[in-house]
Amino acid sequence: MRIMHSHWLFGLLSTSTGILGTPLVYDTTTGERDTTFIVKHSWSGTPKGWRLHSEPTSDHMLKFHIGLKQGGIDEVIRHLYEVSDPAHIRYGQHLSKEEVDELISPTEETTATVSEWLQSHGIHYSDCYASSAGDWLQLTVPISKAETMFNTQYHIFQHEKTGEYTLRSLNWSLPSYVHSHIDVAAPTTSFTRTRSMKKTSFLDPHVPMIDDLSGGLSTSCSTSVTPSCLRTLYNTANYTPTATNVNQIGIAGYLEEFANFADLKTFMQKFRSDAVNANFTVTLINGGANNQAQPGIEANLDTQYAGAMTFPTPNIYYSTGGSPPFIPDDNTPTNTNEPYLDWLNFISNQTTIPQTFSTSYGDDEQTVPEDFAVRVCNGFAQLGVMGSSVLFSSGDDGVGAGECLANDGSDTIRFQPNFPASCPYVTTVGATVKTNPEQATSFSGGGFSNYFAQPSYQASAVLAFLTELGTTNQGLFNASSRAYPDVAAQGQSFQVVIGGATGSVSGTSASCPTFAGVITLLNDFRLSNNKPSLGFLNPLIYANPSAFNDITKGNNQGCGTNGFSAGIGWDPVTGLGTPDFLKLQTLLG
C-alpha cells in the first residue's frame, strides 16, 4: 500500500530504518548522506518587471508547500487521455479520489528520505500537514530556517508597474540525497502575480449601460452583453437544468475579490428575472474572506454570469487567500501568495467536487519556474481524470504585453504565453466580440507555450494553422509546443452590477465563465441521462470542431506585432471557436 495519510505520515519514522522498514540509502563510499547542495531553480537576475526593494527580518514566518515526487503521475496522465477520448472504450470512466491518491502517492523511499531531511532541520510531524495522498506537505518556518534548508536568501521585491510586494528568492537548492525526491518548494522563485484577466475598467464610459428593468432585453450581443443575448447566441435559452441535486459549477477567486449577494440579486432582477432567487455559496480557503462590504469586479462578473448561464444549478465561489499585498515592514504574518497551490490542495482533498471549474486568473508563463508550472499543471490533470472540466481565461494581452523580453537573461524578444492557460490539461478560453459574425477581440490571449509539449489531441488542428501561417512571426514562438486557446466566447462590454450600479467589463475574464456555463449545462444533460460528466474536455472538442462556431476574423496583437490572425479552423486567437449548445447536446446524446 502506497497511500500515506496525513495523520500517520511521520508517526512511522524510526531513526535508522525509515518508514515501513524501508532502509535509508546512504553513500556507499562514506556511509553518510551526501549533503552537497544541487540547484533546483535559479534566475540569472531579478525577473523582468520587478526590482529589489529591501530585506526581510530573519524571524518573518513563511508557509511552505513542498511537493514530493509523485509515484505514478505518468499513469494519471495515461488514464486522463483514455477516459477523456470519446473514441476510447473507457470514455467517461473517471477515477475516484482514492484511486488518484493511490497513483500519485510518493514511494516509501521518497517519503522516508524527505522525512529524514526535515528531521535534520528539527521539523517533526506536528509541524507539518500532509495531503491525503502524501504528495504535498505544508509547514511554517521562519525565513532564517528556510534559507538554511534551501541554501538561499530571501528578499522583498516590488513590481515596477503595480507597486505590489512579494517575498521571494532568486534561487533554491536541495542536498543531493533529497534532490530527486522533491519536485517543488514554494514560495521560492515563482514571481507570478496571479493577475485577474479583465481588460477594461468598471464603468466604461464608451459602452451604453442597460437600466431597463422591464425584462425586454435585446437578444443581440452586438453592443452590450447580457445573459439574454449570450443564452440566445449560444443556444442555451430553452434548456432548463434538472440534475441540480448533483451538478455544480465552481468559480475560483483570488486577490481578495469578494462576490456580493445583493449585487447578484440586483443583476438577476435586471437581466434574468426568472432567476431572481439565484444564489451561490462561498467556500473559504487559506484565510480567504467573504467581505460583503467590498464587492469585487472580477468576483461579481464571474458569479453573475456563471449564475445567469446555469440557473438553477448550484454555484460555489472559492475565496482563496494568500494574496498580495505583502507589507514589507510587518514582521509577524506569514506570506505565501501561492494561491493556485492552496486552491489545488484544498480541492484535491475533497471527496466531492464540482463537475466544472472556471478560473479567470493567470500571468506570464515565464514568471513561473518550469518545475512549478509542471506540478501545478499536473494538479489540474488530476481533477480532469476525476471527472471535472477545468477552464481558464486565455489572457488579455494578445500574444504578449510590453517589450516581450525573455526572462532568462538573453533579453530575446518573443511572444509571451500565459500560465495556467498554457497547461495542456485545462481548456483555455479566448474572447470574441460582435455578432453576425463574431470576430476575435484584439486582446484575446493566445499562442504557444515555452514549457509544455504539444498534446496529440490538437496536433492536426495546429499543423493546419501553421501550414497556412507560413513564415509569419517566425522565431517569435515555439511551433512544436502546446497551443492555446482551445475555444472562445464573447468577452467585451459585459453588463455587471457592482455596489448596486451597472458598469461594463471586458476581458477573457468574461469569456471563461460564459463558456464554463455552457459546459455546466452539458454536464447537467449528461448527468440527467445517467451518463458521467464530461471531465477533461480537449480530446472531445478537438475531435468535433463542427460543434463550434468558427471565428475567421480578427487578430490578437502584441509584442509590437499584429500577433496571430483568426482563420478557418483552429487558430491561436479564438481556438476552435464559440460553442453551439444544441450541436454539442446532440453530439453527447
Residues 138, 345: Cα–Cα separation, whole Å: 10
Residues 562, 554: Cα–Cα separation, whole Å: 10
Residues 191, 453: Cα–Cα separation, whole Å: 22
Residues 93, 100: Cα–Cα separation, whole Å: 13
541 labeled part of a ligand binding site: no
Helix 297-310 vs helix 261-271: crossing angle, to nearest 10: 50
551 labeled part of a ligand binding site: yes
Length of the chain: 589
Q: Which residues, 6 or more positions from 206, have their beta carbon under 8 angstroms from its beta carbon?
A: none
- The closest of 136, 243, 122, 216 to 184, measured between CA atoms, is 136
Is 513:305 a contact under the CB 8 Å cutoff?
Answer: yes
135 labeled part of a ligand binding site: no
* Residue at 373: amino acid letter: A
Q: Which residues, 6 or more positions from 463, have their beta carbon under 8 angstroms from its beta carbon?
A: none
- The closest of 165, 167, 159 to 64, measured between CA atoms, is 167
Residues 144, 59: Cα–Cα separation, whole Å: 6
**Residues labelled as active-site residues:** 298, 302, 509
The stretches of 349-491 forming alpha helices (DSSP H) are 370-385, 459-469
> φ and ψ at 389, to 5 degrees?
-90, 120
Cell numbers 449570450 correspond to 230
Cell numbers 490578437 correspond to 556
Do strands 281-285 and 315-320 pair parallel, antiparallel, or not at all (unpaired)?
A: parallel
- The closest of 565, 582, 583, 584 to 574, measured between CA atoms, is 565
Do strands 37-42 and 171-175 pair parallel, antiparallel, or not at all (unpaired)?
A: antiparallel
Cell numbers 484575446 correspond to 444
Which cell numbers in the block locate residue 488?
472562445
Which cell numbers in the block locate residue 346?
484544498
What helix, strand, coil percent values describe the chain, rounded to 5?
30, 25, 50
- C-alpha distance across the termini of the chain, in Å: 40
Which cell numbers in the block locate residue 499?
455596489
Residues 521, 37: Cα–Cα separation, whole Å: 52
Residues 120, 360: Cα–Cα separation, whole Å: 41
| Largest interatomic CA distance in the chain | 83
Q: Which residues, 6 or more positions from 141, have their beta carbon under 8 angstroms from its beta carbon?
A: 61, 62, 64, 123, 127, 149
Do strands 389-393 and 447-453 pair parallel, antiparallel, or not at all (unpaired)?
A: unpaired
Residues 44, 490: Cα–Cα separation, whole Å: 40
Which cell numbers in the block locate residue 575?
481556438
Residues 499, 289: Cα–Cα separation, whole Å: 18
Binding site residues, as ranges? 550-551, 569, 571
Tell me the binding residues for Ca(2+). Answer: 550-551, 569, 571
